[in-house]
Structure formats: C-alpha cells, structure tokens
C-alpha cells in the first residue's frame, strides 16, 4: 500500500489536543453523557430540500402536540407568511434505532403542490415542538426552484445541506464522535430525518444573513443544494455567479467537478465560507444518504475506485487538494474565536488586516494597507482557511507550494490557531482569475456573513465583489510596484509587514516609479500618470520619473492602468525635502551661415539622458531661449521648427557642391552633410544633387526629410548655469548656407 498519513480522528485539525472542549460542551448543556438520542425526539423533514414549482413537497412530522398547523414563510425578498395548512393530527412517531443512517421512515403528515406563483427562493415551514430547544427543531428549510433555471436570476446560492446532515445527530449519531452515542460516529447519515436545532444553525448563522442582506441590496438570487449539484451535472451552466456561504465542508466529487468546470469555463465563484471543501462524500439512494468514512482504510471503495474514497481532499488516496479550486485550505488556516477560548475576540482577534488595498475589492471602503476591519462582528472565525505565502516587499505572496494558483492575490490576513505542524495558520481573504474570464473570490471564514447586517466594510466589499462578478469585466491587476517602504507592524499580536506608499521623502533630483500590471484576460494595458490630479503629458508607460522641480511639499502621484472596460489605480504620497538647487540653461538658435543669423519660433527640448520627463520651450524673436528650474544631470538639447520656407531657398550652387562632395572635391561639416542628404538615405551622392536640382526646378515640392535640420547637443549641468548653449540649424538642401534670414 502506498504511504499515507495515518488516520487519527475525524476531528483532527479542529479538536486535536482540545479534549477539554468535550467537557465544556457537556456542562454547557447540562448533560452528563453523550446520549443525544434521548434528547431529539421531535421534529420534521421533507422528501426534498429543494423542489421545483409544480412539484409535490411532502412533510413528515413528529410532535407531542395533539393537533397542529404547518405554516410556510418565504424568507428574504417579499418575506412573510404565504401558507397555512388545515389542522393536522399530531402525535409522536417512532425513531428507529438506525434512523441516523437509514432514515426515520415516518408516515407522511402533509403534502403540498408548490404553486406556480411562488417566487424562487428559500422557504421555512414551521410547526410546534416541545422539549430541549437546543436539539428539537420545529422548522423545515427548503428551496423553491423555477423549472427554467437561471431565468429568475444569474446568481445562485448553494445551501450547504451536506454540512447540516454531517453535524446532525438526530437518531443518535452524526459524522462526529463528540455528539454521537457511545462517542462512535456514523459512516453514513440520512437526509430522511429531522435536522436538529444545532445542525440547522448553519443556515441561520450564515446563509439567512446573506439572504436578508440581499433584500437591502435589491439583489435576487436562486437557490440550490449540494444534492442538486450531485444530481444535475450541468446545473451551473445556467448561471454566471455562484455563492457558497458559511460552512461547505462536505462535498461530493460530482459537485466539486461541476464547480471546477464552471470556473474553468468562465464562471465566477464567491466563497463566503470557511473550512470549505474539506471532506469528500458520496451520495447514495438517489441523494438521500450521505457516506463519509473519513478513514480511507475503512472505505470499501479503496483500491476499487480511489477517486471517490471518502477522506480529506488533499490526503491519500485522492491527492486532489481543494486549493486548486478554492485557493485556500483549512490545513493552512485554523480556528479563531472558538468556544474553548482560542484566539478570542476579547484579546483583539477576529478581524482582517488589509493588504493590496488598491484592488477594486476595497473601492469605497477607505481602507488602506495595515488597516483592520470586521472586529465588531468577529468575521474571522470560527474555522478559517489559508494558504502558503511569503513576504515580498511588505506584500504577502502565495508560493504555490500547496497548489494554490500562483496568481492568487492576498487581500486580507488574520492569524489562526492550528496544529503544531502548521504553526503559522492564517485566515486568508483573496482573489484569483482564470484568463478565459473565470474568477474566484474567497473570504475564507465561516463568519463573513455575520458582518453583513451592520459592518459597512464587509457590506461594501461583498457589494463590490458581487457587482464586479455580475458585470463580468475586470480591471488590470497592479501586482507589484516601486517605490514603497517596507515597515514592520504588530497586528493581532503578530509581527507583519506593510508596503507603505504614503511616507516617501524625496531630496534627490528625481524619483523613479514603476508598475507591474497584468490584464486578467490577457488584453493590452494603457497607463495615465497624474501629479496632484493633473495628468502628465505623454505618460502612457508603466514607468514614470517624478522630477523634483517643484516647491517643497506633499505631492500625490497616482498611476492608472486601464484596459478596454475597467481602470485600476494606485497612489503614493511624496514629500519633497531639502529644496533642490535649480539651474538655468540658455542660448540662441542660429542659422548655419557666415552671419549666424538668429532663428525664431523654434521649439527647443531638454531631455534627461537617464530617462524622465522632457521640457520644451519656444525661443523668442531674437532667437533666444531659456530653461529655468533645471536640476543637475545629463541632457540632450534638441530643436525643431515648422516654419515654411520659400521655394528659392536652394539653388544650383547647392547641387554643384553636393556633386563636388561626391567627387571628393568638397568637404561638409556634420550639419551641412545632413542637409545635403536630401533623400534621407544616410549618405551624400549624385542622386542628392539630382533631387536638389529637381526641387530647384519646381519638379518636386518636398524632400524626403523635413525642411529644417538642427544639431543635437549633449550637455552636463553640474553646479552652475549653462549659457551660450547655441544650436545651429539649416534648411535641408541649403548646403552653401546662402539663405538670408529676415527677422
């Protein structure tokens, strides 16, 4: 047999070395033994947890009430009581000893054909029960679906009914030792039994809060279950956005494959859940029984069909880590705010520290790197997921060692307590894209939805993700940048790093900025740079040089990276200190003739040779120009002119001189040589002489090169002004310099 980790207990990574939790649970509920079968004696279940309009929904109820009515309420949009049954005869129904795995097999109490005018959504049927409220649940949660899936909404929410079933110990056992009779868990659990109050709390703690938040956001959604995804392999093709909320720990292979295919084919997945995709399960009996041995050696499929063995996804014999889809795993996460006092809120835990705050996910929150959010609602907990990352320039960056996609961007971190071999567990909020349009956002915590009622940051982030995922366009990712100062900071009692862009001091002549931006779908990216909101001309580059030619003060440098649909931005705060010494560069633009006649209306440009912004000025009527506020450095000094010359600016002598040069009887200075090369081929020959004659004879109206040619000068500004930086110019073809300039 291949080597694999020995099975310890189905609760390891959660309850290892925390056996005291068991006793806390016992005393908190006033029990002295784990015999929950004696507690949960009343409740109800339905033949389906999701039902199409027009289908029959059957209820099976056990209650000590002699008679009762079933009341059905719609949750979320248009919430309220929509149906009350006639009076139903009550009474307790027998609970078979194997009910936990083979179902209760109760007599039908009531049935209803779902009316066609009921909106798709989540509904709650209630009826009276007595006894311990903790275990007896007088409600049945179910979803109503439209036969034309996706016609009511492009959003679908998964009801995590597999999880409800896994923790449900009605009939004596669950998939856990801690609440099963004789502390021996079951390997199979049935959906045909009531959910206890504690097991259905999964829904009330998280999913119901999302449903209520949808109402405030005017969002409509459709709802399905894990079982639906098992039974219909093409279900998600009807939707654009899938939301997984709360605790989706138990997943079948058909469900996981369908969600993976959904993302691979351009779907967008929002995971507002923790401990997600931890155990593989199998469904039997047309989806009414869930199987999870948790120990692969006990699973009869081991060695027969290893792909469906019910163990942790990353473990033997599956070796199919959940990180490949979710980007995170409970292995790298852990527990926070657990009932045993692990990393409690009272000590400051339970919120996220912000990273990569320039991402669109944080738009409108005002949060910046190193800020914390979600503390009041304890959004980080109870179980959280993380991934393997390292620190790079103050930015947590995934390594991919755990098969997390390497383009997963970490947006939030929070420490979590894990077992010894994962000493530094974290909750990791983040995002990654697939180039064909697929995208996955994960909050990586069970309690995210607890922030939706009142936490404005959680509300805004969730709104941003949902809106962008529905829009199905994504701005460029700014994945790295310079400059940035890496500083250490203590957050939640651990030393972390922050890339600080807001405290940059500049005393040098210039500062180089650079972005590494990528388009999620491989498209082209353009750039705009702004200083204090004013756009810098000709700045379509991922690089920008801020020249310190401004008065001392604080300057905002903002870079915008944009594709055809969206824009990202990132900003710096730069404080200019120790005023830089500025110099003057001046001179005259003259014609290359004996009298050195001044030229006017010439554009003169000063360009740093090591990169940076050029500055341009126009000389005056006397040919003079001047640049002020020039910092030390090396520059190219160039000129250009658009002045039109009369047709007689060349003559036969020019052609003769070109011919003499070609014959070796004449020499030219570099500027005259360039003027003689009228065909712009890099040399001077008989053809140039012929072309000059043709233009002199008005047989052609222009040369190949511009009418004006100016020399380029390299200058070095060091500790002094530079004057008399004269630049010579000449008209193309005027190799004898005979043109008379009339100012």
String of DSSP letters for 188-205: EEESSSPPPHHHHHHIII
The answer to whether residue 283 is domain-embedded is no
Q: What is the pLDDT of residue 611?
A: 79
Task: Give the CA dihedral 690, 696, 701, 707, nearest 10 degrees.
Answer: 90
Average pLDDT estimate for 704-721: 92
DSSP E strand boundaries for 264-305: 268-273, 279-284, 289-291
Q: What is the pLDDT of residue 26?
A: 34
3-state secondary structure of 462: helix
Regarding whether 623 and 553 lie in a shared domain, the answer is no
Regarding whether 626 and 702 lie in a shared domain, the answer is yes
The answer to whether residue 561 is domain-embedded is yes
CA 507 distance to own-chain centroid: 36
Of the three residues 576, 600, 626, the one that is the final residue of a domain is 576
Regarding whether 593 and 719 lie in a shared domain, the answer is yes
Q: What is the pLDDT of residue 423?
A: 64
Task: Give the CA dihedral 443, 446, 448, 454, nearest 10 degrees.
Answer: 180
Average pLDDT estimate for 506-535: 94
pLDDT at 32 over 50: no
Residue 422's pLDDT band (cuts 50, 70, 90): low
348, 336 Cβ separation under 8 angstroms: no
CB neighbour list of residue 72: distance below 8 Å, 6 or more residues apart = 81, 82, 83, 84, 112, 123, 124, 125, 126
pLDDT at 6 over 80: no
Regarding whether 611 and 724 lie in a shared domain, the answer is yes
pLDDT at 326 over 90: yes
Q: What is the pLDDT of residue 15?
A: 40
Average pLDDT score, the chain: 91
CB neighbour list of residue 119: distance below 8 Å, 6 or more residues apart = 74, 77, 78, 144, 152
Reported as a single tens digit per residue, the pLDDT across 249-275 is 999 999 999 999 999 999 999 999 999
Strand partners, 243: 157, 270
| 317 prior amide bond cis, ω within 30 | yes
Two tokens, residue 689: 């002489």
Two tokens, residue 392: 């790079």
The answer to whether residue 293 is domain-embedded is no
Reported as a single tens digit per residue, the pLDDT across 64-84 is 999 999 999 999 999 999 999
Regarding whether 710 and 612 lie in a shared domain, the answer is yes
- Round to whole Å and give the CA distance between 331 and 198: 25
Kindly report the CATH number assigned to the domain that includes residue 524.
2.60.40.10
Task: Give the CA dihedral 380, 159, 312, 432, nearest 10 degrees.
Answer: -60
pLDDT at 36 over 50: no
Model pTM score: 0.78
Residue 164's pLDDT band (cuts 50, 70, 90): very high
Regarding whether 711 and 620 lie in a shared domain, the answer is yes
Regarding whether 550 and 628 lie in a shared domain, the answer is no
Residue 13's pLDDT band (cuts 50, 70, 90): very low
123, 74 Cβ separation under 8 angstroms: yes
Residue 134's pLDDT band (cuts 50, 70, 90): low
Residue 2's pLDDT band (cuts 50, 70, 90): very low
- How many domains is the chain built from? 2
241, 466 Cβ separation under 8 angstroms: yes
Measured at the CA of 685, the angle between CA 681 and CA 689, to 5 degrees, comes to 105
- Round to whole Å and give the CA distance between 424 and 359: 25
Of the three residues 576, 604, 626, the one that is the final residue of a domain is 576
Strand partners, 392: 395
Q: What is the pLDDT of residue 90?
A: 97
The answer to whether residue 683 is domain-embedded is yes
Q: Is the CA virtual torsion 364, 366, 369, 372 positive or negative?
A: negative
pLDDT at 645 over 60: yes
pLDDT at 1 over 50: no
Q: What is the pLDDT of residue 41?
A: 86
277, 315 Cβ separation under 8 angstroms: no
Strand partners, 390: 397
The answer to whether residue 725 is domain-embedded is yes
Q: Is the CA virtual torsion 186, 191, 193, 194 positive or negative?
A: positive
Q: What is the pLDDT of residue 508?
A: 85
Closest CA to 486 of 498, 473, 494: 498
Q: What is the pLDDT of residue 577?
A: 82
Q: What is the pLDDT of residue 552?
A: 87
Residue 537's pLDDT band (cuts 50, 70, 90): confident
Regarding whether 684 and 725 lie in a shared domain, the answer is yes
Regarding whether 588 and 520 lie in a shared domain, the answer is no
Reported as a single tens digit per residue, the pLDDT across 351-404 is 999 999 999 999 999 999 999 999 999 999 999 999 999 999 999 999 999 999
Closest CA to 414 of 340, 488, 485, 335: 335
The answer to whether residue 638 is domain-embedded is yes
Higher pLDDT, 43 or 131: 43
Q: What is the pLDDT of residue 132?
A: 61
Q: What is the pLDDT of residue 329?
A: 96
Phi, psi dihedrals of residue 393, rounded to the nearest 5°: 55, 40
Of the three residues 541, 576, 611, the one that is the final residue of a domain is 576
Question: Which of 279-293, 615-629, 707-721 has the highest mean predicted lDDT (pLDDT)?
Answer: 279-293
Regarding whether 687 and 599 lie in a shared domain, the answer is yes
Q: What is the pLDDT of residue 43?
A: 96
Domain extent, residue 542, equals 485-576
Average pLDDT estimate for 336-340: 87
Reported as a single tens digit per residue, the pLDDT across 579-596 is 678 899 999 999 998 888
Reported as a single tens digit per residue, the pLDDT across 666-710 is 999 999 999 999 999 999 999 999 999 999 888 888 899 899 999
3-state secondary structure of 212: helix
- Round to whole Å and give the CA distance between 241 and 214: 14
Regarding whether 696 and 603 lie in a shared domain, the answer is yes
Strand 534-535: give its sheet, edge to edge. Answer: 504-506, 567-576, 553-562, 526-531, 534-535
pLDDT at 30 over 50: no
Average pLDDT estimate for 205-229: 98
Reported as a single tens digit per residue, the pLDDT across 280-293 is 999 999 999 999 99
The answer to whether residue 467 is domain-embedded is no
Average pLDDT estimate for 501-510: 90
pLDDT more than 70, % of the chain: 93
Reported as a single tens digit per residue, the pLDDT across 463-494 is 999 999 999 999 999 999 999 999 999 999 99
The answer to whether residue 140 is domain-embedded is no
Q: DSSP letter at 565? A: S
501, 355 Cβ separation under 8 angstroms: no
| 483 prior amide bond cis, ω within 30 | yes
pLDDT at 633 over 70: yes
Q: What is the pLDDT of residue 131?
A: 74
- Round to whole Å and give the CA distance between 619 and 639: 10
Regarding whether 727 and 612 lie in a shared domain, the answer is yes
């Amino acid at each position: 047999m291949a080597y694999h980790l020995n099975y310890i207990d189905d609760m390891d990574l959660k309850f290892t070395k925390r056996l005291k939790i068991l006793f806390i649970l016992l005393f908190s509920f006033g029990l002295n033994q784990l015999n929950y079968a004696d507690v949960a004696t009343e409740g109800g279940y339905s033949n389906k947890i999701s039902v199409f309009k027009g289908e029959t929904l059957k209820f099976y109820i056990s209650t000590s009430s002699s008679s009762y009515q079933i009341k059905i309420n719609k949750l979320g949009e248009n919430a309220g009581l929509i149906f009350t049954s006639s009076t139903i005869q009550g009474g307790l129904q027998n609970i078979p000893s194997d009910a936990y795995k083979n179902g209760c097999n109760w007599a039908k109490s009531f049935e209803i054909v779902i009316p066609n005018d009921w909106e798709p959504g989540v509904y709650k049927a209630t009826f009276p029960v007595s006894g311990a409220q903790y275990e007896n649940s007088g409600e049945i949660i179910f979803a109503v679906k439209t036969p034309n899936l996706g016609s009511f909404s492009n959003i679908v929410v998964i009801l995590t009914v597999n999880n409800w079933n896994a923790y449900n110990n009605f009939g004596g056992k669950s998939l856990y030792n801690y609440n099963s009779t004789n502390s021996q868990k079951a390997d199979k659990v049935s959906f045909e039994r009531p959910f206890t109050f504690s097991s259905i709390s999964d829904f009330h703690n998280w999913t119901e809060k999302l449903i209520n938040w949808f109402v405030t956001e005017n969002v409509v959604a459709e709802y399905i279950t894990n079982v639906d995804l098992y039974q219909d392999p093409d279900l998600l093709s009807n939707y654009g956005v899938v939301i997984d909320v709360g605790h989706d720990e138990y997943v079948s292979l058909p469900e996981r494959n369908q969600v993976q295919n959904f993302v691979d084919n351009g779907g967008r997945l929002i995971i507002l859940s923790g401990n997600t995709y931890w155990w593989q399960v199998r469904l039997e009996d047309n989806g009414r029984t869930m199987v999870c041995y948790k120990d692969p050696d006990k699973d009869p499929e081991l060695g027969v069909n290893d792909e469906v063995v019910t163990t942790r996804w990353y473990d033997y014999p599956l070796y199919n880590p959940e990180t490949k889809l979710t980007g995170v795993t409970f292995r790298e996460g852990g527990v926070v705010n657990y009932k045993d006092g692990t990393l409690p809120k009272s000590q400051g835990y339970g919120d996220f520290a912000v990273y990569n705050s320039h991402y669109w996910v944080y738009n409108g929150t005002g949060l910046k790197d190193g800020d914390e959010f979600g503390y009041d609602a304890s959004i980080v907990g109870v179980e959280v997921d993380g991934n393997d990352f390292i620190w790079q320039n103050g930015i947590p960056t995934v390594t991919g060692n755990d098969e997390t996609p390497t383009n997963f961007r970490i947006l939030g971190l929070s420490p979590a307590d894990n077992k010894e071999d994962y000493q530094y567990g974290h909750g990791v909020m983040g995002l990654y894209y697939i180039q064909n349009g697929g995208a996955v956002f994960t909050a990586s915590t069970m309690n995210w939805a607890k922030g939706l009622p009142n936490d404005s940051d959680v509300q805004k982030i969730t709104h941003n993700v949902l809106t962008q995922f529905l829009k199905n366009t994504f701005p460029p990712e700014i994945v790295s940048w310079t400059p940035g100062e890496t500083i250490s900071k203590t957050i939640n009692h651990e030393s972390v790093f922050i890339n600080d862009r807001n405290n940059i001091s500049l005393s040098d002549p210039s500062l180089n900025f650079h972005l590494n931006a990528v388009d999620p779908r491989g498209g082209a990216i353009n750039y705009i740079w702004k200083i204090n909101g004013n756009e810098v001309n000709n700045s379509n580059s991922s690089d920008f040089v801020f020249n310190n030619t401004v008065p001392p003060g604080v300057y905002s440098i903002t870079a915008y990276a944009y594709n055809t649909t969206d824009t990202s931005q990132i900003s710096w705060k730069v404080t200019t200190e120790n005023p830089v010494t500025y110099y003057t560069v001046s001179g005259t633009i003259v014609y290359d003739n004996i009298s050195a006649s001044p030229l006017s209306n010439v554009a003169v440009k000063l360009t740093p040779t090591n990169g940076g912004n050029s500055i341009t000025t126009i000389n005056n009527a006397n040919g003079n120009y001047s640049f002020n506020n020039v910092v030390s450095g090396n520059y190219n000094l160039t000129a250009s002119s658009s002045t039109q010359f009369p047709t007689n600016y060349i003559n036969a002598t020019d052609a003769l001189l070109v011919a003499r040069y070609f014959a070796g009887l004449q020499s030219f200075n570099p500027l005259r040589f360039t003027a003689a090369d009228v065909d712009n081929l890099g040399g001077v020959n008989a053809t140039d002489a012929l072309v000059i004659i043709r233009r002199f004879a008005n047989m052609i109206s222009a040369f190949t090169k511009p009418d004006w040619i100016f020399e380029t000068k390299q200058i070095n500004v060091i500790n002094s002004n530079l004057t008399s930086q004269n630049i010579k110019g000449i008209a193309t073809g005027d190799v004898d310099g005979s043109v008379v300039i009339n100012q």
